């Protein structure tokens, strides 16, 4: 198991390097100079040159990349072109709401999706159709529209949850933290829930037809134990793997929902920076988001290996 | 997603006829399925909606009652009226016109990522899937990178560097999602690459391109078309998100995401604004998804029966419970029900499966036998004769859709009347099963110790140390000397022979008196088969087990059987002590099986065979089921069902021509030609 | 050089009876395992044999014996790591699948799984036309005539050509696969477990068909199977394989009746016969011809004899030295007991080892 984790880490490192390169060179695609874009149309060539020099943009691209990477490894992603604030600090301050939302939503979808998929596969018939219909509906509702609906019903009409804003888990306590996250999590989970439930349904249908189910029955293991111990574990392996794949789309949803619920997260920071043409923050943000994806996928790999010993040898 | 996996023999049981639906369907059936689907109202509605949305977006300029940009400041946030059918927004612009105009660019732009993903994913996926090796490893790594990129965030970044260039942003999105198409195509190609018919084409010297186009692409095409629909609806949703964020689309022109954004600012004073645009979005995505998923359902998949027992055991209705053999013609099993020396008695067992039409199709039709303590009864016959279903019915473990009637008595207790809960207590402790595929019979996620320990704990209880000791004891009992290390292993680390020994240990853990073995050695090599047969025999002798062994191999019958029941088309056609059966069969089918074995045959002399095939259950005639293939058949054989007739004191045969058969055997051995 | 070239065809023409159809010399197939320190698996470990025209050579062995790998290596479907394969005078060692047009007309195959070996989305006619088009360059229209006669050869109705494989039973599909192999009149057909997946009656039907076709067309068979009785019934000569090596080779009838190599004896005794009296004898013997069960056996030595861990005649030399192919009567046996110079304590005492027939044949 340790060797498996080490092997996965060894793959993750070059992956991160390439992602870092992509997020760096993305900005190089800007037609003309970033400095010109920052200063706008009214700037003179001299102003642009001065800014380029102060940002180090006059040096060769590769040496810029080397410098940027060297600094990035030390946790320094440079300073914001617009506010002058350290990019790392800005990102670190906004990471909590984003991760809270993404991770809680992923866990919720995983658990509820497994339950729904299991119910559909085991019971079949009407339960199956019900799960399929609700799942399809969930997948069809755009999360931003659902968010608006939730705000209208639960915040404006029923006043059950706050419509916007965020509460720190550390300073404000768990109650306010959760209540600010309930609506965004529901809005974020609806789309993925359908997908995970369908995957779980397929995985359970497959696991239920495996020969070991018959063997376990034949040795006298009761039905419930066969289902909740053996079938559940086998079926959850592919479902957990798919959760990893959907995570990148979950992060996309987070960006949208942060805007609606005005959560002070990385998504909002990115949107702001995009509007302000603040390339260094955009650059750092892409890297940060990718880091989260790689780490989450690592956790998911380890989780599947813990569930299924066959994965460990791969 | 890809082509069907070959169903495991043991789970199929009814043999070839039911194996067919799991096979890939011939070409043309995809088109047929689509044609069929077009007759379903739900699909027509979904398709109709998509067409309506596309047409009205194209004709928006003609259809829209107002200019989508024209402001009517007197009628701001007005509800539906005769002038403004769906009301107006904060600037008094007509909502209906804005919706009509707001979809076109979105629907069109969503095509770009799909096209890009296909152009990249399909050729590269097929190529590296086919050649494998380093190209494959490299492509896989690149895709891993793509999967580490949060699509929306990167597209945000692209929007800033390209100054909101929508085509460029959609292309980047297409590149990122092409990883999914690549993986799908690569997986299907890899699965197809090693198919035997592809090998056969290679051997014939068919060129690589022809193989790819002719044998591999068709297997990839179905999943790909389906995925196209889902990808398109995903891209559409993604682009509405962008439009909602105010990116990529011209802020001056209406677009659907932007309409939601505008509406969300007036949740408190005009919630109606949300409704029309929301319904249009949901209906469009739902219709696309529904079409995609309906296509998915038309793809051939391996639909295998669930093996989890239902909470309530299915009961055959009275009219199906009798099978096809009339009441008076049945034969009672030989033994007294309460006799302790006869732990298992099966009488008039009928096993039927639900047909798609809602009826019941018998696959086992009035089978009776009894097994004595310390005795082995072999159920022997070709695939499709009902022997496996007979064996599974005794344990109440028929696959989904199957039900049994008649009588199965274990130590005098009627098992068919027990509830599932009561039956679970009987299984393992009184009657146990060894199945054909030892590898599949063990749960891959749990170690041998954990699986065996669970069963030991279930039946005997005891402390952890006691359970552990018993596990090792059981492993040694089945001939595994290094019990410690095998106990630690996971099923995938065991060889087939070792796995079968573990399966036998599992079956013995509850100390049952009856063991049912379904082709326990068929999947094993000859020398391993011999070891397992020796093990079963010695266990039977030391533990006094009654053994029911299902096999198609008369050699195995000779090795381990005391009594054999030869089955044909769901019935026992001959029941006899093994020595006598093999020395002189009294049913022409038994004779045919024996003749076809090449053991004593001479090179160059053709093997005597029975012409034709075993009939499918639906084709069983109302008379002797073997008559159509029988060399001795006469008109009398086709007059009605043939009962099991006593041939000698301890043998029965379902044949009215046993005398003629005996005569022909005498002639053959004395060498006199008639 | 030039003289050799000009003389080659003429020798080939005149020396047909003497030159074997297929000559395999020291064939090796290694499979690389994942992990940079794991040594490759020797699936085929130095196998040499010849096969004459019209002959049937049986390859028998258990899983891991390399029998199917040999067949696949000849067909260009498994990578050859060493050795040489000469078919009909051509060295085809390097001929990879894909540029095998010239090989295809001499060498064809029938696979084990009758379901997997036919493309379910192509009609039987199209399947049969494929080798005709690819190797013989026949166009579709003339192929139709050929297909009709092929179907007749394997006793299938003419209208079978228009149907899809799923309309046929396992035995019928195997007939179709045989027809495909016959399509371009090859000199040699590799039958890779061609009858193993069939029920016993169907198996006999297909064996009879193969026999008839051989008499009609004179095709040679490389008949690969795990069942010694079936192989020895159908073959002229038999190679007994174990872990990638030939243990024993010789005439089918003798190996079946009096196997010499301890492994051949174990294999022979392991297959039960459908005769209760004979089987009782065989059952006793199968416990005597092996020392320990596979579950108890130690791993096989890297050098030495692969059967050493289970062999009742094992001596020190068996663990360290690879046995040579020792001649014995009309066959060769790769066992130190049969090699007088091997240093095995029983060396040269081969007669004792093969004293009795394994099973009494009751007529």
* Residue range(s) defining the domain that contains residue B134: 11-21+31-68+93-298
* Residue range(s) defining the domain that contains residue C151: 117-185
Q: What are phi and psi of C233, to 5 degrees?
A: -65, -40
Asked if residue B336 has pLDDT above 90, the reply is: no
Question: What pLDDT sits at residue B326?
Answer: 55
- Model pLDDT for residues C12-40, shown as the tens digit of each residue: 333 344 578 999 999 999 988 766 667 78
Residue C361 domain-assigned? no
Lowest-confidence segment of B31-45, B416-430, B581-595, C292-306 by average pLDDT: B31-45
Residue C242 domain-assigned? yes
d(CA C297, nearest CA chain B) in Å = 10
Bridge partner list, C198: none
Asked if residue B327 has pLDDT above 70, the reply is: no
Q: Which of C21, C22, C57, C61 is nearest to C43 (CA)?
A: C61
- Model pLDDT for residues C168-218, shown as the tens digit of each residue: 888 899 999 999 999 988 999 999 988 888 888 899 999 999 999 999 999
CB C124 within 8 A of CB B26: no
How far apart are the C-alpha atoms of B580 and C275, rounded to whole Å? 10
- Contact: B157, A148; criterion CB under 8 Å: no
| Cβ neighbours around C139 below 10 Å, total | 10
Is the C-alpha dihedral spanning A25, A27, A32, A36 positive or negative? negative
Complete DSSP assignment for B602-616:
PTTSPPP---S-PPP
Question: What pLDDT sits at residue B302?
Answer: 57
Q: Which of A182, B476, B121, B200 is nearest to C71 (CA)?
A: B200
Question: What pLDDT sits at residue C362?
Answer: 35
Q: How far is CA C47 from CA C43, C81, C84, C252, in A?
A: 10, 12, 10, 18
Bridge partner list, B629: none
Nearest 5°: the CA angle C206, C212, C214 is 105
Asked if residue C234 has pLDDT above 90, the reply is: yes
Question: What pLDDT sits at residue C267?
Answer: 92
Q: How confident is the model at residue B424 (pLDDT cuts 50, 70, 90)?
A: very high
Residue of C nearest to B26 (CA): C121
Asked if residue C138 has pLDDT above 80, the reply is: no
Number of domains in chain B: 1
Q: What six digits make up the tokens of A167?
A: 């509460």
Angle between helices A87-123 and A125-140 (to 10 degrees): 150
Helix (H, G, I), strand (E, B) or coil at C99: coil
Question: What pLDDT sits at residue B363?
Answer: 93
- Mean pLDDT for the stretch of residues B236-259: 90
Residues 95-124, chain C, touching B (beta carbon < 8 A) = 97-104, 107-109, 111-113, 115-122
Question: What pLDDT sits at residue C239?
Answer: 96
Bridge partner list, B346: B369, B408
- Mean pLDDT for the stretch of residues B594-609: 86
Q: What six digits make up the tokens of A266?
A: 């990385």
Please tell me whether residues C9 and C67 are part of one structural domain. Answer: yes
Please tell me whether residues C87 and C127 are part of one structural domain. Answer: no
Those residues whose C-beta lies under 8 Å from the C-beta of residue A220, and which sit 6 or more positions away, are: B424, B425, B426, B427, B428, B429, B455, B458, B459, B510
Give the CA count within 13 Å in the CB-facing half-sphere of B368.
21
Residue of B nearest to C163 (CA): B26
Q: How confident is the model at residue A84 (pLDDT cuts 50, 70, 90)?
A: confident
Number of helices and strands (H, E) in chain A? 15, 0
B447 contacts in chain A (CB < 8 Å): 309
Asked if residue B158 has pLDDT above 50, the reply is: yes
The answer to whether B356 faces chain C, any CB pair under 8 Å, is no
CB A291 within 8 A of CB A213: no
Lowest-confidence segment of A151-160, B73-82, B213-222, B316-325 by average pLDDT: B316-325
Q: Chains meeting C at 3+ CB pairs closer than 8 A?
A: B
Question: What pLDDT sits at residue C7?
Answer: 38
Please tell me whether residues C268 and C324 are part of one structural domain. Answer: yes
- Model pLDDT for residues A38-66, shown as the tens digit of each residue: 676 677 778 778 877 777 777 777 888 88
Q: How confident is the model at residue C352 (pLDDT cuts 50, 70, 90)?
A: low
Of B26, B559, B599, the CB nearest to C120: B26
Instruction: Give percent of chain B with pLDDT exceeding 90.
Output: 53
B to C CB pairs, distance under 8 Å: 223
- Contact: A148, B274; criterion CB under 8 Å: yes
- Model pLDDT for residues A85-106, shown as the tens digit of each residue: 888 888 888 999 999 999 999 9
Residue C289 domain-assigned? yes
Asked if residue B270 has pLDDT above 70, the reply is: yes
Asked if residue A67 has pLDDT above 90, the reply is: no
Of B27, B382, B481, the CB nearest to C201: B382
Q: Which of B345, B300, B381 is nearest to B556 (CA)?
A: B381
DSSP single-letter state for residue B49? H
Q: How confident is the model at residue C274 (pLDDT cuts 50, 70, 90)?
A: very high
Question: What pLDDT sits at residue A45?
Answer: 79
Domain limit, last residue, from C240, C257, C274: C257
Residue C11 domain-assigned? yes
Question: What pLDDT sits at residue B19?
Answer: 31
Complete DSSP assignment for B135-180:
HHHHHHHHHHHHHTS-HHHHHHHHHHHTTS-HHHHHHHHHHHHHHH
Q: How far is CA A112 from CA A115, A129, A134, A233, A313, in A?
A: 5, 17, 13, 15, 30
Question: What pLDDT sits at residue C358?
Answer: 46
Q: Which of B173, B141, B116, B136 is nearest to A18 (CA)?
A: B141
Instruction: Give percent of chain B with pLDDT exceeding 70.
Output: 91
Give strand ranges (E) for chain C: 22-31, 41-51, 56-60, 82-87, 90-91, 107-110, 188-192, 220-225, 237-242, 245-251, 326-328, 331-333
CB C196 within 8 A of CB C227: yes
Asked if residue C137 has pLDDT above 60, the reply is: yes
Residue C226, domain CATH: 3.40.50.300
Residue B17, domain CATH: 1.10.3720.10
Asked if residue B18 has pLDDT above 70, the reply is: no
Lowest-confidence segment of B30-34, B372-376, B419-423 by average pLDDT: B30-34
Helix (H, G, I), strand (E, B) or coil at B47: helix
Q: Which of C328, C333, C301, C331 is nearest to C317 (CA)?
A: C301
Q: How confident is the model at residue C346 (pLDDT cuts 50, 70, 90)?
A: confident
Angle between helices A125-140 and A174-208 (to 10 degrees): 130
d(CA B618, nearest CA chain C) in Å = 16
A to B CB pairs, distance under 8 Å: 266
- Contact: C166, B606; criterion CB under 8 Å: no
CB C294 within 8 A of CB C310: yes
- Model pLDDT for residues A111-131, shown as the tens digit of each residue: 999 999 999 999 888 999 999
Number of domains in chain C: 3
- Model pLDDT for residues B372-405, shown as the tens digit of each residue: 999 999 999 998 899 999 999 999 999 988 999 9
Please tell me whether residues C181 and C210 are part of one structural domain. Answer: no
Asked if residue C350 has pLDDT above 70, the reply is: no
Please tell me whether residues C67 and C206 are part of one structural domain. Answer: yes
Q: Chains meeting A at 3+ CB pairs closer than 8 A?
A: B
Residue B339 domain-assigned? no
Nearest 5°: the CA angle C236, C289, B552 is 65
CB A304 within 8 A of CB A241: yes
| Cβ neighbours around B271 below 10 Å, total | 17
The answer to whether A59 faces chain B, any CB pair under 8 Å, is no
How far apart are the C-alpha atoms of B607 and A23, rounded to whole Å? 73
- Model pLDDT for residues B613-635, shown as the tens digit of each residue: 888 898 999 999 999 999 999 99
- Global pTM reads 0.87
Please provide the size of chain A in residues. Answer: 314
Question: What pLDDT sits at residue B88?
Answer: 87
How far apart are the C-alpha atoms of B6 and A135, rounded to whole Å? 30
Please tell me whether residues C154 and C270 are part of one structural domain. Answer: no
Helix (H, G, I), strand (E, B) or coil at A1: coil
Residue C359 domain-assigned? no
How far apart are the C-alpha atoms of C237 and C239, rounded to whole Å? 7
Please tell me whether residues C205 and C58 are part of one structural domain. Answer: yes
Question: What pLDDT sits at residue B11?
Answer: 30
Helices (H), B265-356: 274-298, 318-321
Please tell me whether residues C160 and C265 are part of one structural domain. Answer: no
Question: What pLDDT sits at residue C14?
Answer: 38
Q: What six digits make up the tokens of B482?
A: 């290094």
Question: What pLDDT sits at residue B559?
Answer: 95
- Contact: B607, C122; criterion CB under 8 Å: no
Please tell me whether residues C179 and C247 are part of one structural domain. Answer: no
- Model pLDDT for residues B519-540, shown as the tens digit of each residue: 999 888 999 999 999 999 999 9
The answer to whether B616 faces chain C, any CB pair under 8 Å, is no
Residue C362 domain-assigned? no
How far apart are the C-alpha atoms of B350 and B406, rounded to whole Å? 6
DSSP single-letter state for residue C152? H
Domain limit, last residue, from C229, C257, C285: C257
Please tell me whether residues C264 and C347 are part of one structural domain. Answer: yes
Average per-residue pLDDT in chain A? Answer: 87
Average per-residue pLDDT in chain B? Answer: 86
Sheet architecture: strand order including C90-91: C41-51, C22-31, C82-87, C90-91
Please tell me whether residues C96 and C6 are part of one structural domain. Answer: yes
Question: What pLDDT sits at residue B506?
Answer: 96
ipTM: 0.88
Residue C301 domain-assigned? yes
Question: What pLDDT sits at residue B29?
Answer: 59
Question: What pLDDT sits at residue B328?
Answer: 47
Asked if residue B74 has pLDDT above 80, the reply is: yes
Residue B594 domain-assigned? no
Residue B201 domain-assigned? yes
CATH superfamily, with its number, for domain A97-265 = MetI-like (1.10.3720.10)
């Amino acid at each position: 198991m340790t060797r498996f984790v080490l092997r996965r880490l060894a793959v993750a490192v070059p992956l991160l390097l390439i992602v870092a390169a992509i997020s760096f060179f993305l900005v190089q695609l800007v037609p003309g100079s970033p400095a010109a874009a920052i200063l706008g149309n009214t700037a003179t060539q001299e102003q642009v040159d001065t800014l380029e020099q102060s940002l180090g943009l006059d040096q060769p691209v590769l040496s810029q990349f080397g410098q940027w990477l060297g600094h990035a490894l030390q946790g320094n992603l440079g300073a914001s072109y617009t506010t002058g604030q350290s990019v790392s600090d800005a990102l670190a301050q906004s990471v909590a709401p984003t991760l809270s939302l993404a991770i809680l939503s992923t866990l919720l979808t995983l658990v509820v999706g497994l339950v729904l998929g299991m119910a559909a596969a085991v019971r079949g018939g009407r339960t199956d159709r019900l799960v399929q219909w609700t799942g399809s509906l969930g997948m069809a509702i755009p999360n931003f529209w659902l968010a608006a609906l939730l705000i209208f019903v639960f915040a404006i009409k029923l006043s059950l949850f706050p419509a916007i804003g965020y509460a720190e888990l550390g300073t404000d306590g768990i109650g306010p933290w959760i209540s600010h996250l309930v609506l965004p999590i529901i809005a974020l989970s609806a789309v993925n829930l359908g997908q995970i439930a369908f995957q779980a349904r397929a995985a359970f249908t497959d696991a239920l037809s495996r020969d070991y189910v018959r063997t376990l029955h034949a040795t006298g293991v009761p039905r419930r134990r066969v289902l909740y111990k053996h079938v559940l574990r086998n079926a959850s392996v592919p479902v957990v793997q798919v959760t990893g794949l959907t995570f990148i789309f979950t992060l996309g949803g987070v960006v949208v929902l942060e805007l609606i619920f005005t959560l002070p997260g990385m998504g909002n920071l990115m949107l702001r920076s995009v509007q302000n043409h603040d390339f260094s923050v955009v650059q750092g943000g892409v890297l940060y988001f990718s880091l989260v994806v790689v780490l989450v996928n690592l956790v998911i790999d380890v989780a599947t290996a813990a569930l299924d010993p066959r994965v460990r040898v791969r | 997603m890809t082509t069907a996996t070959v169903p495991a023999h043991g789970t199929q049981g009814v043999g070839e006829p039911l194996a067919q639906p799991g096979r890939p369907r011939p070409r043309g059936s995809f088109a047929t399925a689509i044609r069929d689907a077009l007759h379903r109202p739900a699909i027509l509605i979904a398709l109709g909606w998509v067409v309506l949305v596309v047409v009205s977006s194209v004709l928006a300029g003609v259809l829209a009652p107002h200019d989508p940009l024209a402001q009517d400041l007197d009628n701001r946030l007005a509800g539906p009226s005769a002038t403004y059918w769906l009301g107006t927004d904060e600037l008094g612009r007509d909502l209906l016109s804005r919706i009509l105009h707001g979809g076109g660019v979105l629907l069109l732009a969503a095509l770009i990522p799909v096209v890009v993903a296909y152009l990249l994913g399909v050729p590269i996926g097929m190529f590296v899937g086919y050649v494998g090796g380093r190209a494959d490893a490299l492509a896989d790594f690149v895709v891993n990178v793509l999967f580490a990129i949060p699509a929306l965030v990167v597209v945000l970044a692209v929007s800033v560097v390209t100054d909101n260039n929508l085509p460029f942003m959609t292309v980047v999105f297409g590149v990122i999602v092409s990883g999914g198409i690549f993986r799908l195509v690569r997986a299907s190609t890899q699965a197809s690459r090693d198919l035997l018919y592809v090998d056969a084409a290679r051997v014939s010297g068919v060129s690589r391109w022809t193989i790819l186009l002719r044998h591999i692409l068709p297997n990839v095409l179905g999943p790909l078309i389906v995925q196209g629909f889902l990808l398109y609806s995903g891209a559409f949703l993604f682009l509405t998100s962008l439009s909602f964020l105010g990116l990529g689309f011209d802020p001056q022109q209406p677009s659907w995401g932007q309409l939601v954004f505008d509406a969300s600012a007036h949740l408190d004073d005009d919630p109606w604004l949300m409704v029309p645009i929301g319904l249009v979005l949901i209906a469009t995505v739902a219709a696309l998804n529904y079409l995609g998923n309906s296509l998915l359902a038309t793809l051939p998949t391996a639909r295998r029966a669930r093996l989890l027992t239902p909470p309530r055991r299915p009961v055959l209705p009275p009219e199906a419970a009798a099978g096809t053999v009339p009441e008076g013609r049945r034969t009672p099993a030989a033994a007294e029900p309460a006799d302790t020396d006869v732990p298992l008695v099966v009488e008039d067992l009928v096993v039927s499966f639900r047909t798609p039409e809602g009826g019941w199709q018998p696959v086992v039709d009035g089978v009776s036998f009894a097994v004595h303590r310390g005795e082995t009864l072999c159920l022997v016959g070709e695939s499709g004769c009902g022997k496996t279903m007979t064996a599974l019915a005794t344990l109440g473990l028929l696959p989904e859709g199957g039900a049994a009637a008649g009588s199965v008595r274990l130590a005098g207790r009627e098992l068919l009347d027990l509830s599932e809960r009561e039956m679970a207590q009987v299984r393992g402790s009184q009657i146990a099963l060894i199945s054909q595929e030892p590898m599949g019979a063990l749960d891959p996620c749990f170690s041998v110790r954990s699986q065996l320990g669970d069963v030991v704990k279930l039946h005997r209880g005891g402390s952890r140390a006691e359970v552990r000791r018993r596990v090792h004891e059981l492993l040694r009992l089945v001939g595994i000397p290094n019990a410690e290390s095998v106990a630690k292993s996971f099923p995938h680390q065991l060889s087939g022979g070792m796995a079968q020994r573990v399966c036998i240990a599992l079956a013995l853990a509850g100390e049952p008196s009856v063991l049912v073995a379904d082709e326990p050695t068929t999947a094993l090599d000859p020398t391993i088969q011999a070891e397992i047969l020796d093990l079963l025999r010695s266990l039977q002798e030391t533990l006094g087990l009654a053994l029911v062994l299902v096999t198609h191999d008369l050699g195995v019958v000779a090795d381990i059987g005391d009594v054999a029941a030869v089955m044909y088309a769901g019935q026992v056609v001959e029941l006899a002590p093994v020595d006598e059966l093999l020395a002189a069969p009294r049913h022409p089918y038994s004779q045919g099986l024996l003749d076809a074995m090449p053991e004593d045959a001479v090179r160059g002399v053709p093997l005597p065979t029975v012409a034709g095939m075993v009939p499918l259950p639906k084709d069983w005639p109302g008379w002797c089921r073997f008559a159509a293939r029988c060399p001795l058949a006469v008109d009398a054989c086709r007059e009605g069902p043939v009962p099991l007739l006593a041939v000698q004191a301890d043998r029965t045969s379902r044949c009215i021509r046993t005398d003629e058969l005996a005569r022909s055997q005498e002639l053959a051995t004395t060498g006199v030609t008639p | 050089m030039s003289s050799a070239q000009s003389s080659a065809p003429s020798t080939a023409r005149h020396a047909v009876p003497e030159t074997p159809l297929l000559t395999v010399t020291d064939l090796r197939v290694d499979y690389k395992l994942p992990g940079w320190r794991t040594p490759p698996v020797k699936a085929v470990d130095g196998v040499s044999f010849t096969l004459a025209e019209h002959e049937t050579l049986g390859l028998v062995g258990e899983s891991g014996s390399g029998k199917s790998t040999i067949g696949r290596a000849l067909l260009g479907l498994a990578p050859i790591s060493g050795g040489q394969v000469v078919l009909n005078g051509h060295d085809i060692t390097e001929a990879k699948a894909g540029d095998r047009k010239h090989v295809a007309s001499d060498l064809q195959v029938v696979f084990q799984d009758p379901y997997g070996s036919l493309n379910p989305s192509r009609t039987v006619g199209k399947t049969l036309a494929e080798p005709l088009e690819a190797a013989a360059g026949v166009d579709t229209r003339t192929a139709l005539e050929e297909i009709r006669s092929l179907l007749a050869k394997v006793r299938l109705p003419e209208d079978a050509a228009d149907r899809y494989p799923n309309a046929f039973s396992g035995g019928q599909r195997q007939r179709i696969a045989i027809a495909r192999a016959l399509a371009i009149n090859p000199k040699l057909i590799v039958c890779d477990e061609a009858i193993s997946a069939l029920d016993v009656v169907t198996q006999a039907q297909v064996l009879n068909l193969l026999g008839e076709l051989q008499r009609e067309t004179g095709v040679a068979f490389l008949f690969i199977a795990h069942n010694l009785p079936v192989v020895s019934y159908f073959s002229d000569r038999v190679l007994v394989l174990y872990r990638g090596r030939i243990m024993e080779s010789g005439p089918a009838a003798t190996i079946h009746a009096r196997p010499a190599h301890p492994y051949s004896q174990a294999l022979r005794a392991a297959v039960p016969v459908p005769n209760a009296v004979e089987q009782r004898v065989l059952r006793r013997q199968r416990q005597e011809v092996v020392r320990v069960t596979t579950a108890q056996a130690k791993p096989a030595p890297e050098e030495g004899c692969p059967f050493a861990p289970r062999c009742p005649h094992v001596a020190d030399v068996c663990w360290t030295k690879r046995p040579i192919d020792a001649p014995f009567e009309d066959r060769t046996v790769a066992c130190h007991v049969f090699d007088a110079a091997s240093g095995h304590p029983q060396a040269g005492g081969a007669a004792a080892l093969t004293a009795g027939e394994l099973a009494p044949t009751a007529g």
